[in-house]
């Protein structure tokens, strides 16, 4: 486990309330992957069960064929599908060669089940993000 990995995890809003010990625990549960430019990581409407944190590179989020935003190092996505294994709410494609920290549904489940305070912190931040996304989607035509 590298200090860069812990630093990246600490910058992710999803883990903003976590202690350094909790961040080390989370870091041990996930994997790092390298992905080429042009790779579709999540496809809207298709089952998804992987959570991604962009460590390097850039990706693009599309909803209903429209660009929603660009993702840069520190951004994350896939947390909803990881939690419920439901269909992706957006399509995410890499724009440049990228490195990601990833966790599958099983890895994340095992991590948060092992620590109740960690689970509460993560769920609190997820709720805040869902509310923010709802506001943004209502503002856009």
* CATH code: domain of residue 82: 2.60.120.10
Inter-residue contact 94 to 33 (CB < 8 Å): no
Q: What is the rounded average pLDDT of the residues 74-87?
A: 81
Count CB-CB contacts under 10 A for residue 3.
7
| Mean pLDDT computed over every residue of the chain | 84
The residue with greater pLDDT, 34 or 112, is 34
Provide the number of structural domains found in the chain.
1
Inter-residue contact 53 to 8 (CB < 8 Å): yes
- Provide the domain limits for residue 125: 3-139
- pTM across the whole model: 0.77
Structure-block tokens of residue 76 = 């994350």
Q: Quote the DSSP letter at residue 47.
A: B
């Amino acid at each position: 486990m590298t200090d860069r990995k812990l630093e990246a995890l600490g910058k992710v809003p999803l883990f903003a309330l976590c202690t350094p010990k909790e961040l080390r625990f989370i870091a041990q549960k996930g994997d790092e992957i390298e992905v080429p430019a042009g790779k579709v990581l999540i496809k809207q409407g298709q089952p998804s069960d992987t959570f991604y944190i962009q460590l390097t590179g850039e990706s693009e989020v599309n909803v209903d064929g429209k660009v929603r935003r660009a993702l840069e190092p520190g951004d994350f996505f896939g947390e909803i599908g990881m939690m419920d294994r439901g269909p992706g709410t957006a399509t995410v494609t890499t724009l440049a060669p990228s490195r990601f920290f990833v966790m599958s549904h099983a890895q994340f489940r095992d991590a948060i089940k092992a620590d109740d305070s960690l689970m509460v912190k993560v769920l609190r931040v997820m709720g805040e993000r869902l509310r923010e996304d709802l506001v943004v989607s209502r503002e856009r035509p």
